[in-house]
Amino acid sequence: MEAKIVGINLQKGRAVALISTGEYILLELFTDELELHDEISGNFEAYPLGGEIIRNVTSGESMDVLIQDYCSKDLAINYLRG
């Protein structure tokens, strides 16, 4: 399933992606390779939590992330603010 990066806080190593179900994915980043509006793909339909390898469709790179949770827009905004 694909998702789109809709928010990033590189200082805190966090990103938020929007999936087609309308839910937001809270990501902890280990690199600064993601950019706003990048398309990513992963096994998001299974709602995994914890360490996952996702693919940045925009750049063609794979990367390790930590999926923290799936949530609403309001919670995603709070997550980015930290």
Per-residue pLDDT of the chain (82 residues; tens, 9 = 90+): 999 999 999 999 999 999 999 999 999 999 989 999 999 999 999 999 999 999 999 999 999 999 999 999 999 999 999 8
pTM: 0.94
Q: How many CB atoms lie within 10 A of CB 19?
A: 18
Q: What percent of the chain has pLDDT over 70?
A: 100
Structure token pair of residue 44: 């998001």
Measuring CA to CA, which residue among 44, 34, 42, 43 is closest to residue 14? Answer: 34
Determine the 3-state secondary structure of 75 from DSSP: helix
Determine the 3-state secondary structure of 7 from DSSP: strand
Size of the chain in residues: 82
CA 80/CA 53 separation, integer angstroms: 21
Q: What pLDDT, on a 0 to 100 scale, did the predictor assign at position 82?
A: 83
**All structural domains of the chain with their residue ranges:** 2-81
Which distant-in-sequence residues (6+ apart) come within 8 Å of 81 by Cβ?
A: 9
